[in-house]
Amino acid sequence: MLNDWLAPKAAALESRGLNRRLRARSADEDVIDLAGNDYLGLSRDSRLIEAAAEAVCRWGTGATASRLVTGTTTLHEELESALAAYAGHEAGLVFSSGYLANLGVVTALGGPGTLLVSDEHVHASLIDAGRLARSRVEIVPHNDVEAVTKVLAERNEPQAVVVTESVFSVLSDAAPLAELAATARANDAVLLVDEAHGVGVTGGGRGSVHAAGLAGLEHVIVTMTLSKALAAQGGVVLGPEVLRSHLINRSRPFIYDTALNPAACAAALAALRVLIAEPERPVAIHSAAARLAAVCGVPAATGAVVSVPMPGPRETVRAAELCRDNGVLVGSFRPPSVPDGISRLRLTAHAGLSDADLTRACTVISRVISEVS
Ligand SMILES: Cc1ncc(COP(=O)(O)O)c(C=O)c1O
């Protein structure tokens, strides 16, 4: 019965070149990785590994329960304070993923009295958060501040939240944060910015909200993942203390979920310390991204991601396969994972790439793109 149900769906995806497959990597694979999100090149750093191992020895292999039961360790609170201080906010609350941080904050602020105004390019976690929030959701054209202002001004709901990313995950372009914060304030709304691709990368590492002078404002909330530049796992919501208390009491993805593993907390804390001590790492991301962008003939992006439009989904997959055959891993993004329907190669610049690796990757990628396009 399940086969009759699902096999035609799989065949339909296959016929459009849109089926997805998992590919397990081995720990010692000898490739240049331009597909993962380890932007600062810290996932195998001995300082993070030692911190995570020590946390396992000290706290055990799991958090044992949800945060409100026995899952909150001193490590969780240390991480929350450190992230809030680094990014310039009063308080922070850690979730077990960035996805859950987004679900957690949007659903806790949502409801019939709250309008959500969401950029059309936001990440799936923010889209799903809007669906769960029981709010009216207005989707506005990408980075269109006038459209945001119009729906905020015309609303009937007493509260509103403007939802965006600081650096968008696929196109790696920037949101007009200062303008969005200004219109949010003028219209009695809150601005929620997902810095998944900003932390560790923009604003010298502290993110785009900090760089724009918006961190710590009463109507500005930030979410981050700890799984990309910070090379760990988990997510965080940053903002005023009153928000943190509200989430502890009202956010179902926080309350009904086992706490983040202590090893991930310790790794994220260690990553933050490295980031503070080695400010050259974010700079290295931008120079690697600029080199990759030049070789692919696309403009340099705001973040670590270099997004290369391809003729179609099949060409994208073929190009990624050819790169892999030549020892370079790149991402292939196709609908529905692309906001504008255009399939593309997604290359991620890492701080840890050697000059030789970058040169080799550029040679392979430029040859493959001209062969496939
Ligand atoms: C913009 C954005 N927000 C949220 C997430 C989810 O973060 P996590 O992988 O920690 O669940 C991601 C990454 O996958 C992302 O790109």
Q: What pLDDT sits at residue 170? A: 87
Q: What pLDDT sits at residue 49? A: 98
- Is pLDDT at 146 greater than 90 in this prediction? yes
Number of neighbouring beta carbons within 10 Å of residue 249: 11
Mean per-residue pLDDT for 329-347? Answer: 90
- Is pLDDT at 355 greater than 90 in this prediction? yes
Which residue stretches of 187-240 are H helix? 208-211
If you measure from the C-alpha of residue 342 to the centroid of ligand 1, how many angstroms do you get, rounded to a whole number? 20
| Distance (Å, whole) CA 200 – CA 216 | 18
133: its two tokens: 């929030």
List, for residues 55-69, the tens digit of each pLDDT value: 999 999 999 999 999
Strands 190-194 and 159-165: parallel
| Distance (Å, whole) CA 132 – CA 128 | 6
Q: Which of residues 167 and 14 earns the better pLDDT score?
A: 167
If you measure from the C-alpha of residue 227 to the centroid of ligand 1, how many angstroms do you get, rounded to a whole number? 8
Helix axes 355-372, 280-296, angle to 10 degrees: 30
Lowest mean pLDDT among 124-128, 236-240, 263-267, 330-334: 330-334
- Is pLDDT at 339 greater than 90 in this prediction? no
Q: How confident is the model at residue 42 (pLDDT cuts 50, 70, 90)?
A: very high
If you measure from the C-alpha of residue 1 to the centroid of ligand 1, how many angstroms do you get, rounded to a whole number? 34
Q: How confident is the model at residue 171 (pLDDT cuts 50, 70, 90)?
A: confident
- Is pLDDT at 5 greater than 90 in this prediction? yes
Instruction: Compute and round to an integer the Cα radius of gyration of the chain.
Output: 21
Q: Name the DSSP letter for residue 167.
A: B
DSSP string of 217-232, one letter each residue: -TTEEEEEESSSTT-S
* SS3 category, 120: coil
Q: Name the DSSP letter for residue 38.
A: -
Q: Do 162 and 189 touch, CB atoms closer than 8 A? A: yes
Pocket test for ligand 1, best of 94, 123, 254 (most atoms within 8 A of CB): 123
Q: Kindly report the backbone phi and psi dihedral angles of residue 34, in degrees, each rounded to the nearest multiple of 5, phi listed first.
A: -115, 25
pTM listed for this prediction: 0.96
Q: How far is CA 102 from CA 130, 266, 348, in A?
A: 10, 22, 23
List, for residues 186-230, the tens digit of each pLDDT value: 999 999 999 999 999 999 999 999 999 999 999 999 999 999 999
Of the candidates 258, 268, 259, 206, which has an alpha carbon nearest to the alpha carbon of residue 233?
A: 268
Q: What pLDDT sits at residue 301? A: 86
Q: How far is CA 140 from CA 122, 128, 151, 366, in A?
A: 10, 16, 9, 35
List, for residues 77-130, the tens digit of each pLDDT value: 999 999 999 999 999 999 999 999 999 999 999 999 999 999 999 999 999 999
List, for residues 252-263, the tens digit of each pLDDT value: 999 999 999 999
Binding pocket residue ranges, ligand 1, CB within 6 Å:
97-99, 102, 123, 125, 165, 169, 194, 196, 225, 227, 235
Mean per-residue pLDDT for 154-160? Answer: 98
Mean per-residue pLDDT for 48-53? Answer: 98
Q: Do 209 and 201 touch, CB atoms closer than 8 A? A: no
Q: Which residues contact 43 (CB under 8 A, 6 or more apart)?
A: 36, 231
Q: What pLDDT sits at residue 45? A: 97
| Distance (Å, whole) CA 236 – CA 84 | 9
| Distance (Å, whole) CA 64 – CA 261 | 9
Mean per-residue pLDDT for 10-24? Answer: 89
List, for residues 295-314, the tens digit of each pLDDT value: 999 998 899 999 999 999 99
Q: Name the DSSP letter for residue 216.
A: T
Domains of the chain: 28-44+279-372 (3.90.1150.10), 46-276 (3.40.640.10)
Pocket test for ligand 1, best of 227, 236, 260 (most atoms within 8 A of CB): 227
Lowest mean pLDDT among 80-94, 98-112, 328-342, 352-366: 328-342
CA 240 to centroid of chain Cα atoms: 21
Q: What pLDDT sits at residue 174? A: 97
If you measure from the C-alpha of residue 262 to the centroid of ligand 1, how many angstroms do you get, rounded to a whole number? 20
Q: What pLDDT sits at residue 341? A: 86
Number of neighbouring beta carbons within 10 Å of residue 290: 15
